[in-house]
A = this chain, B = another copy of it.
């Protein structure tokens, strides 16, 4: 059921997506899945299968620049107009163009008088506000622009923010094992059979999280590994006090967009979680949640250790949707927007139905403390 069927079209927020790439195409689909939004169109510069797929999906396509428009028309790509046309017909634009391009669009959005949501590749300084829905929806209300932080930073804010909200977190030291490139682009230049350590400690994700959670005591180290799908974070946490494992889990469960998975269920590696997403029938096999291994989480005294998976292609999509509502002001309450987004997408805290053992003790778990 979408906005057209519900008859909300007159009051729906009109949205444009500029940049129909890994993030943009997902944001476009998510906008189409929201009951209170309408996707007016997407803009891009490509002429190949990627934009022609949009046309096959009945998404109005606009040329992001004049030269691109000429090339696209010459290539037989049917256009609904240019980015200027598109901006004239929307309330908000989500900019998902590549790093260097996004900044140059800033003035165009302002001139057109549309609210603009940028992505984590841009600097905090561009917008002066960085966004993660659960942390600071309120401060984004009515602003002209915000920046949805990167996939890694989003996950850090979700998880560490949850522990901070419960007044449990004193200090966090993390190691991020990043994917080398996205699966649809892995023929263009990835890293093979090696690990590439980030040259700077702290890597930028720690400081970046402080653009949303200013007081966070966090240091990150990062490495790029030889796989294409999703990041994997490892954290050593100092707590404000000795706590039980259930207290820590409880704090995490109280936060949105963190899902709990278990080694004991056979979900033992990044690829098994991804296979599960495919089996759940999710679009593109996407996972919008941070997937945290519940049965690996260990708490000893005032220290906690945990690992989770960050599906970088999709994790910022629900945040982008919430950011639209916050800027436009159509929903003034963060939790309400989060709930709307999550219901429409199908965000979950548990991916599997609960097991209800019959006729015997719970089965042994495989080598898990």
- Seen from chain A, the residues whose Cβ lies within 8 Å of a Cβ on chain B are 25, 46-50, 52-53, 55-57, 70-71, 73-78, 173, 175, 177, 180-181, 183-197, 199-202, 219, 221, 223, 225-229, 232, 234, 236, 263, 265-272, 274-276, 278-281, 283-285, 293, 295-298, 303, 305-307, 351-363, 366-369
Contact = CB atoms under 8 A, between A and B. Distances in A.
Contacts of A193: 183, 186, 192-193, 226-229, 271
How many copies of the shown chain assemble into the complex?
Answer: 4
A221 B305 CA distance: 8
Given A56-B353, A197-B232, A202-B305, 20 more contacts: A25-B279, A53-B280, A70-B359, A73-B359, A74-B359, A76-B357, A77-B355, A189-B191, A190-B190, A190-B191, A195-B227, A195-B270, A199-B296, A199-B368, A201-B307, A219-B236, A219-B305, A221-B236, A223-B232, A226-B226
A266 B48 contact: yes
22 contacts: A46-B266, A49-B265, A52-B355, A53-B280, A56-B280, A74-B361, A74-B363, A78-B356, A173-B173, A184-B271, A185-B271, A187-B192, A192-B226, A194-B271, A201-B297, A201-B369, A202-B298, A219-B305, A221-B234, A226-B227, A281-B284, A284-B285
A197 B74 contact: no
Contacts of A181: 192
Contact of A73 (B236, B358, B366): B358
A236 B174 CA distance: 9
Nearest to A77: B355
Contacts of A78: 356
Contacts of A293: 197
Given A77-B355, A274-B183, A194 B49 contact: no
A130 to B, nearest CB: 22
Contact of A285 (B191, B192, B278): B278
A269 B232 CA distance: 19
Nearest to A233: B175
